[in-house]
Amino acid sequence: MGYLGIRVDFPKLYCALPFKRKNPGRGKRGVKAQELSAEQKSFNKALSKERVVVEHTNSRVKKFHIFGDEFRNRLKRYDTMTDIVCGLVNFRIAGTLAI
């Protein structure tokens, strides 16, 4: 969903956060949160379409156990190995998008 405090920590950074419905609070049974407007829903949908590509790419990189696990090789080879893995992932993505 995104880190909501990022705007406080980095005020000059542009970050797109999805809109959320306002919760009425505890003790208000039967009271539902107000629906989002059509503009907010379309923004959330467009943002999720971008985010899903990034999340799938992150999962593909993690399958190689470079970023997700402990690196069990010489530390001076870490940059080379990450470059190779990211290159393989990019090559696969580029191959699926061609023509």
Q: Can you tell me the distance from the alpha carbon of 24 to that of 84, in angstroms, rounded to the nearest whole number?
A: 50
pLDDT digits (tens, 9 = 90+) for 69-78: 888 889 889 8
- Provide the whole-model pTM: 0.66
The predicted model gives 10-23 an average pLDDT of 85
What's the distance, CA 55 to chain centroid? 5
Q: At what angle do helices 78-97 and 38-62 cross, to 10 degrees?
A: 130
What pLDDT, on the 0 to 100 scale, is given for residue 45?
95
